[in-house]
């Protein structure tokens, strides 16, 4: 048996599974495609997470597209983070091309152009189904981690949530939270001090600054109602195909804190609401996070720890996370070690640092007698990748340089007209795109403050009225006393006054008579 026949047998046998699977392409050896030696991924292990990496222009996005299409066909819903804005074409069939036919002939797979059921989601004011969550749904622990608060500040956040629960004040958006922070150290200071202890204005000021920083990245659009129900990510169409939910994030690259806030809240919500899946043989949901460095580079240590914990735990819920990035070093080692599938496109070595990174990347893959991994990583062509996966028993399959199949859908974006047509048919847009601002902590506290101010003004007026009444009473009493004093004159004075009067009269009469 020749070397290539031996290689073909190993790849075929190791990629033959009892359960359902996704085909990525055909194995390559010495730069040539081994037709029919298909590289498959069993659905059973696709909740064990994965990585798609490679330099710009090597085909990462197309590999993501291929995986999303094939998962959808198997009835598995998908969530894509579309940061570059080039994945909406999944809603339209590929126009085809002779080079695509040539590629598939080498692989040994027929090519069929198809469109897929797509839902377009958004975190911002872009067109799409609006994604929101309330502050209450975050809870004090997750919100504190998002804001990167100290232990003391986190304690204050916990007190704020407790006060709102005790007083039935809904915390829906950030203006609710800012209002209660202000109230705790101003109008309601005495109330808080009596019930929960003294709250430092310095600490609430620091928390407020963190909230404003989050607002400046657009979080005021994210926090609020109607909250997105994660079960709506699990829809299938009438043909049994899983919906591909594309999150438009083209305007969020300069707002990584908002992106990581959303991601963490989404993962936490999925983990808390999805049932334990056990060994079902297929995932419930697969999430692809494009430009994954946006999460990791800007995340605080507390946030990274939370992400790492969720990555380890969420696969028990049947959810697979796939990180798409230029270099595997963009992903923390603690997360990288949890990734069962690796699709590594070509890396480019322009500097000594690049060469060192490539050697480190090669060490993440199983040893192979057929490849010099370091050399292959720099010689792969566009649409080619090194693939390492897990078989149905969770064991690594043999490393295979792979000619990747072409996407069945359009490898380009939707036009504005096509996007508008897609959104007009969306059931989720009708459900989530109405902005609701119902009565919550902000309005209820303002009403409470107004009532307190009205009561205070009323009490002040009453006291002023009483004071005026007392002053008037004192004045009247003083006048009465003066009058009484004047009427009770001394008898001696009265006699003297009478004598003086008589003398005056007699004096006048005497003068008249003399005349």
215-274 pLDDT, tens digit per residue, is 888 888 888 888 899 999 999 999 999 999 999 887 766 677 777 778 878 888 898 899
d(C-alpha 381, C-alpha 263), whole Å: 33
Kindly report the pTM of this predicted structure.
0.82
Is the predicted pLDDT of residue 496 greater than 50, yes or no? no
Most confident listed range (72-86, 282-296, 448-462): 72-86
Is the predicted pLDDT of residue 434 greater than 90, yes or no? no
Q: At which residue do the structure tokens 């101003």 appear?
A: 186
**391 touches 42 (CB < 8 A):** yes
Element (H, E) at 126: none
Q: Provide the 3-class DSSP secondary structure of residue 15.
A: coil
What local confidence, expressed as pLDDT, does residue 500 receive?
Answer: 55
What local confidence, expressed as pLDDT, does residue 214 receive?
Answer: 86
Nearest to 386 by CA among 395, 394, 397: 397
d(C-alpha 291, C-alpha 439), whole Å: 38
Is the predicted pLDDT of residue 124 greater than 60, yes or no? yes
Running DSSP on this structure, what letter comes out for residue 52? E
What local confidence, expressed as pLDDT, does residue 192 receive?
Answer: 86
The tens digit of pLDDT for each residue in 274-306 reads 998 876 789 999 999 888 877 777 666 766 777
d(C-alpha 266, C-alpha 260), whole Å: 10
d(C-alpha 93, C-alpha 82), whole Å: 19
Compute the average pLDDT of residues 484-493: 55
Beta strand 244-248 with 78-82 is parallel
Question: Considering only 34-38, 346-350, 412-416, which range has the smallest mean pLDDT?
Answer: 346-350
What local confidence, expressed as pLDDT, does residue 334 receive?
Answer: 84
Specify the higher pLDDT residue, 451 or 361. Answer: 361
Q: Provide the 3-class DSSP secondary structure of residue 34.
A: strand
User: In whole numbers, what is the pLDDT of the chain averaged over residues?
Assistant: 86
> Under 8 Å CB-to-CB from 77, ≥6 apart: which residues?
233, 234, 235, 236, 242, 243, 244, 245, 284, 285, 286
What local confidence, expressed as pLDDT, does residue 352 receive?
Answer: 81
**205 touches 470 (CB < 8 A):** no
Compute the average pLDDT of residues 324-348: 88
Running DSSP on this structure, what letter comes out for residue 198? -
Question: Considering only 182-196, 234-248, 386-400, which range has the smallest mean pLDDT?
Answer: 182-196
- Region of residue 141 (left: phi > 0; alpha: psi -120 to 50; beta: else): alpha
Is the predicted pLDDT of residue 42 greater than 90, yes or no? yes
Q: At what angle do helices 189-196 and 151-166 cross, to 10 degrees?
A: 100
**324 touches 288 (CB < 8 A):** yes
The two structure tokens encoding residue 303: 């946030």
The two structure tokens encoding residue 180: 């209660």
What local confidence, expressed as pLDDT, does residue 265 receive?
Answer: 81
**341 touches 48 (CB < 8 A):** yes
d(C-alpha 103, C-alpha 265), whole Å: 41
Q: Provide the 3-class DSSP secondary structure of residue 359.
A: helix
d(C-alpha 192, C-alpha 190), whole Å: 6
Is the predicted pLDDT of residue 493 greater than 60, yes or no? no
End-to-end CA distance of the chain: 176
pLDDT bracket for residue 126 (50, 70, 90): confident
The tens digit of pLDDT for each residue in 349-380 reads 778 888 888 888 888 888 888 999 999 999 99
Question: Considering only 120-124, 179-183, 479-483, which range has the smallest mean pLDDT?
Answer: 479-483
What local confidence, expressed as pLDDT, does residue 499 receive?
Answer: 53
Q: At what angle do helices 135-147 and 151-166 cross, to 10 degrees?
A: 170
What's the Cα-to-Cα distance from 268 to each of 98, 143, 291, 448, 449, rounded to whole Å? Answer: 45, 12, 20, 34, 35
Running DSSP on this structure, what letter comes out for residue 223? B
The tens digit of pLDDT for each residue in 399-425 reads 999 999 999 999 999 999 999 999 999
What local confidence, expressed as pLDDT, does residue 231 receive?
Answer: 94
**91 touches 85 (CB < 8 A):** no
Number of helices (H) and strands (E) in the chain: give both, helices first: 19, 12
Running DSSP on this structure, what letter comes out for residue 328? G
């Amino acid at each position: 048996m020749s070397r290539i026949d031996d290689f073909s047998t190993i790849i075929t046998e190791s990629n033959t599974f009892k359960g359902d699977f996704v085909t990525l392409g055909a194995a390559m050896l010495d730069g040539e495609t081994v037709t029919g030696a298909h590289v498959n991924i069993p659905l059973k292990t696709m909740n064990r997470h994965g990585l798609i990496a490679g330099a710009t222009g090597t085909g990462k996005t197309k590999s993501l597209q291929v995986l999303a299409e094939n998962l959808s066909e198997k009835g598995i819903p998908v969530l894509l983070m579309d940061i570059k804005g080039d994945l909406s074409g999944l809603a339209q069939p590929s126009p085809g091309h002779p080079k695509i036919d040539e590629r598939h002939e080498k692989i040994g797979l027929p090519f069929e152009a198809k469109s897929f059921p797509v839902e377009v989601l958004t975190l911002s004011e872009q067109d799409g189904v609006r994604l929101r969550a309330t502050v209450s749904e975050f809870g004090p622990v997750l919100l504190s981690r998002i804001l990167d608060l100290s232990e003391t500040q986190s304690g204050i956040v916990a007190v704020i949530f407790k006060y709102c629960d005790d007083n039935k004040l809904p915390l829906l958006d950030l203006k609710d939270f800012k209002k209660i922070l202000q109230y705790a150290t101003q109008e309601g200071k005495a109330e808080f001090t009596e019930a929960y202890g003294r709250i430092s204005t310095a600490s609430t000021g620091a928390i407020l600054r963190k909230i404003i920083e989050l607002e400046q990245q657009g979080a005021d659009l994210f926090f609020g109602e109607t909250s997105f129900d994660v079960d709506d990510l699990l829809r299938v169409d009438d043909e049994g195909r899983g919906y591909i939910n594309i999150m438009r994030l083209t305007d969020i690259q300069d707002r990584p804190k908002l992106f990581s806030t959303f991601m963490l809240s989404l993962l936490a919500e999925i983990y808390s609401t999805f049932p334990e899946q056990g060994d079902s043989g297929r995932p419930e949901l697969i999430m692809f996070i494009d430009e994954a460095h946006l999460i990791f580079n800007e995340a605080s240590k507390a946030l990274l720890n939370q992400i790492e914990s969720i990555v380890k735990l969420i696969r028990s819920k049947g959810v697979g996370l796939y990180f798409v990035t230029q270099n595997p070093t963009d992903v923390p080692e603690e997360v990288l070690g949890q990734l069962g599938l690796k699709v590594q496109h070509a890396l480019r070595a322009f500097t000594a640092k690049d060469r060192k990174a490539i050697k480190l990347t090669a060490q993440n893959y199983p040893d192979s007698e057929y490849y010099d991994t370091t050399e292959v990583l720099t010689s792969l062509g566009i649409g080619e990748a090194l693939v390492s996966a897990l078989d149905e028993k969770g064991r690594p399959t043999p490393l295979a340089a792979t000619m990747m199949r072409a996407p069945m859908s359009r490898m380009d974006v939707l036009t504005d007209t096509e996007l508008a047509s897609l959104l007009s048919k969306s059931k989720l847009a009708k459900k989530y795109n109405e902005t609701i601002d119902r009565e919550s902590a902000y309005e209820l506290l303002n009403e409470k403050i107004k009532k307190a101010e009205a009561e205070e003004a009323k009490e002040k007026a009453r006291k002023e009225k009483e004071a005026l009444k007392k002053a008037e009473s004192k004045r009247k009493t003083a006048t009465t006393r003066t009058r009484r004093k004047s009427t009770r004159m001394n008898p001696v004075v009265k006699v003297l006054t009478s004598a003086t009067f008589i003398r005056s009269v007699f004096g006048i009469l005497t003068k008249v008579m003399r005349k």
